[in-house]
Amino acid sequence: MPQIYFLCTGNSCRSQMAEGFAKAILGSQWRVASAGIEAHGLNPLAVQVMAEKGIDISHNQSKMIDDNYLFSSDLVVTLCGDARDRCPITPPQIKRLHWPLADPAQAQGTEAQKLTVFRTVRDEIEKRVEALVRVDEGSRVDG
């Protein structure tokens, strides 16, 4: 069974949303997890915008990279430059993708304005995870 790992700086927003979508979209054909270089806690706005899509990530926990999971993954996806630059080096057989997405936790303004940023990032993650499914069906993993 292929294994995917979504990595971000704090494992609070982007990587959590990616994990939620991947579990919903890839289903039981993949082992899916997310982690961060640091653990910042789960962002409640990420939980809220994922719930709008019918995906409950409210029980997820922010966690740091597990080297055993990392080194046994088939695909590692970094969702920010910090994670890409600070992620431990992986063996060449592990495919790595980088999705340079804005950090919604840095959004400024009213609650409505922040939610707009979270939704934009969420929707981009959803498209990219759906693209993984299409590529996987073609028996290769690309981004």
Q: Which residues are catalytic?
A: 8, 80, 87
Cα–Cα distance measured from residue 120 to residue 69, given in angstroms and rounded to the nearest whole number: 29
Q: How many CB atoms lie under 10 A from the CB of residue 120? A: 15
Radius of gyration over every alpha carbon of the chain, rounded to an integer in angstroms: 14
Please list, in sequence order, all residues whose beta carbon lies within 8 angstroms of the beta carbon of residue 14, skipping any fewer than 6 positions away.
6, 8, 79, 80, 101, 103, 104, 121, 125
Listed residue (91, 2, 81) closest to 37, CA to CA: 81
